[in-house]
Amino acid sequence: MIEFKMPSLGADMEDGTLIEWRKKPGDFVKRGDIIAEIETQKGLIEIEIFEEGKVDQLLLQVGDKVKVGTTIAVINDGAESLPQQKPAIEIPETIKPDETKPMDMESAHESLSHRIKISPLARRMAEDSGIQMGDLTGTGEGGAITREDVELAISAQTSKTEKSKSPVDQSLGIRLAVAAAMSKSNREIPHYYLESRIDMRNALAWLSEMNVKRSPKDRLLPVVLYIKAAALAVKQCPELNAEWKDGLILKKEINIGFVVSLKAGGIIVPAIHNADQKSLDQLMADLNDLIPRARNLKLRSSELSDSTFTLTSIGESGADTLYGIIYPPQTGLIGIGRISEQPWAENGMLDVRSCVSVTLAADHRASDGLSGSRFLSAFNQFLQKPETI
């Protein structure tokens, strides 16, 4: 038996609320399957399973708030049994009214809602939206009201509550969570910073040549070169592809956390898994998939918890230089400014070239300036020969 615990979704998240179980006791699950949806400050997150077996127990009710690290389910993998715990969720049944209770108008309405067959999630959605149970038509088995039935009713109604909701309000919670994590990072992590200026002439010329052969939607952007170069550079400096948790923990996989800005403000940092092993085309496809889902706050738990090193890029119309703060428990972050034309001296000659300012923020407990300089040098070398990556 395996205790499946509420996973951490980053240093800026401590708990979440169960919105829906996507599996039920007896279901077979394998790695990557979605077992639940949890609502957090980062939106509605799909919680992935990391083991294989049958769901033995589900230990939370829909609507329960749960802290990171709490056991939420028990998976039967055929190994030694755990002490039996009482499941907190069962298949909903029709509830009969208390026949001994006097029936006034309010009690009659409450009785009706109890007699209606409705899933816990659908009931909660209806109550939160102010929708009367008796106004809903169930399309589920035996006329049961499902999540889809309530969603249809919500979309048809014009509610003041819904109208008052704003993406700005949603992003405020994310901003506060990120700010709390970054404040902790500043207090507890002994940062050191290094900066380097990189000539992008070769990289941009190579990208231009590659993109001539591609349709507009398939064209590569400079950011994929940054991601691949960073992934290969930390491979040479493993102390930067690590976590600090009461000591240095080197990570085998290289998962680049990519900072995505939200339209209403705030940021979110999904992971690009195994970035060192992917082609530039695969990385571009990953970005095209991740960025829209991140901005709609529809990410998987592994995409929020697996980053081993973070990259943040200001874009083409931003500042020249960007100084980042390490995202704990990681040990390094690379910040990339905008590409701009700058004077460049080489071999006694002065030229104007397209350059980019690159900064490294690193944890002095895990590495030092020499290690950081090695990383920036490797990053530069990969960009000078983009055809090799």
Has residue 214 been placed in a domain? yes
CA distance 323 to 195: 9
CATH (domain of 122): 4.10.320.10
Boundary residue ending a domain (139, 164, 189) = 164
- Tell me the mean pLDDT in the region 260-275: 89
Has residue 321 been placed in a domain? yes
Q: Given this model, what pLDDT does residue 117 score?
A: 79
Has residue 275 been placed in a domain? yes
**First vs last C-alpha separation in the chain:** 43
Has residue 99 been placed in a domain? no
Identify residue 333 by its one-letter amino acid code.
L
pLDDT tens by residue, 157-215 = 543 344 444 555 666 777 887 888 888 899 999 999 999 999 999 999 999 999 998 98
pTM for the full predicted model: 0.74
Boundary residue ending a domain (113, 141, 164) = 164
Asked if pLDDT for residue 110 goes beyond 50, the answer is: no
Element (H, E) at 205: helix 201-212
Asked if pLDDT for residue 364 goes beyond 80, the answer is: yes
Range of the domain at 40: 2-76
Proportion of the chain above pLDDT 90, given as a percent: 53
CA distance 382 to 379: 5
Question: Of 273 and 143, which is predicted with more confidence?
Answer: 273
Across the chain, what does the average pLDDT equal? 84
Q: Given this model, what pLDDT does residue 233 score?
A: 97
Has residue 82 been placed in a domain? no
CA distance 9 to 302: 8
- Tokens 């700058």 belong to residue: 342
Number of structural domains the chain divides into: 3
Residues 329 and 306 both lie in one domain: yes
Q: Which residues make Cβ contacts (< 8 Å) with residue 87, sequence separation at least 6?
A: 25, 57, 58, 59
CATH (domain of 57): 2.40.50.100
Of 168-182, 295-309, 372-386, minimum mean pLDDT range = 168-182
